[in-house]
Structure 1
């Protein structure tokens, strides 16, 4: 559907004219909307809070995920060579303002290029494929029955200490996760027998396997919830862009790395609960001060870190991931600040998996990192 603006509204229905192509008498007949129109649907107040306007009800009636596919006004070359990524104008028009509508920010799919005849938008095939993959994944979530959905929950564990598992800002992560799991169970999700309390959940998880080397034993590594054979990881590693392979190898040596390995496998700490899996986010690095590396912008992630996210997607078969509370480290991995390419670690690791992220409301700055660098639903 072609439209000049989503502000053009049918007064009778209160919907943008473009939305009329997606809805019938029984509701929407699409599963996902990919939008390339810039700006927000409703007016944004530059001098204070923006109140909920007509667009909120219009989007509620449409009732589908809206993916913002970015058509950049930049040329591709400056974007590719920039650590910032998109320029301020693109960021405002195609990221910040669309966020007022709750659109999920994806990646640049085209750039404005000039030739002798004309100026036009030139697509970037791998970025188009990324948006298409996201759309397919979100559409699938609408059709897979709840009992068959496989959902991974990831606790923060930045310093790898067992005492700091799930240390989210403003959130009792274990208790909150257990409440969420009970709610999902009531909606038909297959979660098996749940622990009686959040504390019991953490104890079960740590007893099985953690990343705290003070207590970790070879026996625990052997019964880790996820175990990736070295040969499988070597194949996955070869599928990364060569630039990322080189950075990881330079920092951490050749695959599979030296940490959390056991009997020919990379061990991934977690606890299986039916079709849910509760996992620990791997340390950002090791052999150095964990607090110093938490936000280090140029430190390549470890082989173990990549193994977790790739295994969730292509080993365990997750339909979606939930990062439980502010905040993990995926959205802080090296790469462009905004408008990610295939050579950015968050994009390469997460791929097209939907990411949901309960996040404290009083820190929109860091929440924006997850939205803009990991297509998170915050």
Structure 2
């Protein structure tokens, strides 16, 4: 029997090869197996042999879920002419389903995991008993296909040969199929447990150790993640008790997890989630947000190792882009909605090797040791921080001054960084941390005196000096050192922030178990701003030394960056899914990273999450009020008003005033038509302006809250139009033409909106 399998699952193809070789020993010549790996576009060899393989097949299985479009195009013609049995386990070519008397479901609805399992129909004139038998065989073939082990592929082939290949003498290999839900897996012994208590009894319970819950794909299809899961579990096992749970029905994950863990009386300290999408969902549905609620109930950190199932290790390391947009969506963006951090790739596909007998390139999902170690190290850091007595914890608090110098010290969008650092230190002291509590002015004065990234510092003033040779040895990464040396060849004894001997000055001050440091600049001069956001360039040697000193010498239990934003997350490396060769990852190592970030800038906050393993703690904006018009714009507004008055009182001067209005409006890049200009100036006057700077941990006063409500409702939201338009519509006016109303009428409507908002707040 000539059987052709085209699949995106290389592990499945390998399992078919193992089964076919075994069959060849017991029943030589019974099966002629042709295999195609559809994870990459068809090679010239694939393209050449594909049409003949399809045309000459007795049975054809086409599994193209996520395959390059070139495979669909290459198969369209041959499949249209094919009249034999065809199994489409995914969502393509479902209208060509055929197995004995079985024909496609109405509309060609997918019958595999990509669809709801619509009932196929019977061939015209087929005996009902034959149709029922073929339908049962179809179900068995699909279950074997997605189970993906050599036992199941043997069952697949023997069923085809026995029922449809003219070999009734070949017995159908029996096979068991994994159940749904979640099971605890003894990866060393291969045993499965539906009860966590029995698992703990079999392998040994946690005792007094912290607990890491590892959620991993429980079905081998489309990629067998067993090797990656085993590597992660073994690495984590050095730091905590690990409970590996295989998830076979993602839509039931949350309910099953809550029940399993409650029955066992175990609350995890960290959840290591190796699944894509949101926790508790699958491509077929689920309840978004339920997973985040469960994590909140447990109070557990949510760490997300990533499995790179469509790219080889070498290609991933080489490409600067990180993940494809589709992979970012399912493996980063959706898990981030459940609050995941430490999105670290831990496995990718091995380099393909061609099986000469079958003419197919095969590879497998393979752990990346240094990435697994990074994940385990970061989990260990989170666990240590969780169990540490506050009195023993060391906290590094980092501010910025880029471009380097005194004038930019402790900058941050909408944040009083000095006051916020002081407030954080005071709160730490209140909750048992042994830290000093300088006030904002004292903190700023001491930093200005001794801890600014500025060439004026000499060795006698340096808070800390880090010998260059020690910095290089402590880092232990000659690859990174060589890149930095190449990018900054002028660095040496005469460079800023070094001693005359060429050692590094570390701008930081100690306050008990707290360190307040100043992040080094990325460069200086006219290119400083561009350098600050350059994701292709390595850091300056002193920058590299600063974070190496933090990790290896001062050894904090957590690093807290204060304010939006620094430059560390913009250092050279991948756009996302960073490797241990990317500088943001090198800077943070295994130290937990907290980032106090402005809530109004989530886009750049995600850069910090994805590139520097940050846990974002958002701070609210300062209260804002309409800014009004100032300087030249205020003068222009008055000139427009004067022009309006002249039309009634002094028409002879109107033309000259209009010309002056147009000249000044053009200079400000504003409309020159008086009506349009007046409307634009009015909108500018209503633009919100910050009232000072926010201090982290402080809430708005009642007056500030009232101001912000007025500002928000005055400008409108995505769901609500501006308050003045609401009032205009209530009075029978067209809200779309509010800007065209005379200014006196517009002012009246605004005052009425203000009265209504005040009344609601009172």
What is the TM-score when the length of structure 1 is the normalising length? 0.87
Distance in 2 (alpha carbons) for counterparts of 1:58 and 1:134: 22
2:497 corresponds, among 260, 263, 272, to: 260
The answer for unaligned runs of 5 or more in structure 1 is: 10-14, 45-50
Partner of 2:296: 60
Alpha carbons of 1:83 and 1:201: their partners in 2 closer, same or farther (altered >3 Å)? same
Name the counterpart of 2:451: 209
Q: Quick check: which has more Rg, 1 or 2?
A: 2
Instruction: Give the SS at the match of 2:347.
Output: strand
SS in 2 for 1:38: coil
Query: For the Cα contact (< 8 Å) 1:2–1:18, is it kept in 2?
Result: no
* Range with bigger deviation, 172-181 or 292-301: 292-301
Distance 1:205 1:25, change over 3 A: farther
Match of 1:334 among 569, 572, 584: 572
Q: Does 1:175 align with 2:413?
A: no
**Aligned-pair distance for 1:64?**
1.3
- Name the structure 2 match of 1:78: 315
Give the match for residue 369 of structure 2.
Answer: 125
Q: How far apart in 1 are the matches of 2:429 and 2:324?
A: 44
1:319 aligns with 2:557: yes
2:343 to 100, 106, 115: 106
CA drift of 1:164 comes to 1.2
RMSD: 2.4
Q: Does 1:18 align with 2:257?
A: yes
Identify the residue that residue 529 of structure 2 maps to in structure 1: 291
Q: What is the number of equivalent residue pairs in this alignment?
A: 358
Determine if contact 2:347/2:365 at 8 Å carries over to the other structure.
Answer: yes
Map 1:335-354 → 2, pairs under 5 A: 335-354=573-592
Is 1:74–1:87's contact at 8 Å kept on the other side of the alignment? no
Distance 1:5 1:288 in 2: 56
Counterparts of 1:58 and 1:191 in 2: how far apart (Å)? 34
Q: 3-state DSSP class of the match of 1:2?
A: strand
More displaced 10-residue stretch of structure 1: 321-330 or 107-116? 107-116
> Which residue in the other structure is 1:198 paired with?
440
For residues 2 and 255 of structure 1, the distance between their equivalents in structure 2, rounded to whole angstroms, comes to: 52
* Alpha-carbon distance between aligned partners in 1 of 2:259 and 2:591, rounded to the nearest angstrom: 29
> 1:40–1:98: 8 Å Cα contact kept in structure 2?
yes
On the 8 A contact 2:504/2:542 being kept in 1, the answer is yes
Measured against aligned partners, the alpha-carbon deviations of 1:148-207 in whole angstroms (never above 9, x if no partner) come to 100101102111121211211121111111111111111100013x22x31221111111
The answer to whether residue 313 in structure 2 is matched with residue 69 in structure 1 is no
Work out which of the residue numbers 410, 416, 419 in structure 2 matches 1:166: 410
Question: Aligned to 1:132, what secondary structure does the other structure show?
Answer: helix
**d(CA) in 1 for partners of 2:344 and 2:249?**
20
1:5–1:37 contact (8 Å) kept in structure 2: no
Larger displacement relative to structure 2 (176-185 or 114-123) = 114-123
Task: Give the number of the structure whose residues are more often helix, by fraction.
Answer: 2
Deviations 1:96-131 (A, max 9, x none): 100000010322111134554965321111100000
Task: Give the Cα separation in 1 of the matches to 2:412 and 2:249.
Answer: 40
Choose from 189, 202, 207 the match for 2:433: 189
Rate the CA distance shift 1:133–1:346 in 2: closer, same or farther, 3 A: same
1:245 aligns with 2:481: yes
Partners of 1:241 and 1:31 lie apart in 2 by 35
- Which shows bigger deviation, 347-356 or 327-336? 347-356
Higher RCO (CA 8 Å, separation ≥ 6 residues)? 1
Query: Where does structure 2 lack aligned partners over 5 or more consecutive residues?
Result: 1-244, 356-360, 617-762
Sort the Cα spacing of 1:179 and 1:5 in 2 relative to 1 into closer, same or farther, 3 A. farther
- Over 3 Å counting, the alpha-carbon distance change for 1:124 and 1:279 in structure 2 is same
CA distance in 2, matches of 1:348, 1:201: 29
Instruction: Label 1:6 to 1:279 Cα distance change in 2 as closer, same or farther (>3 A).
Output: farther
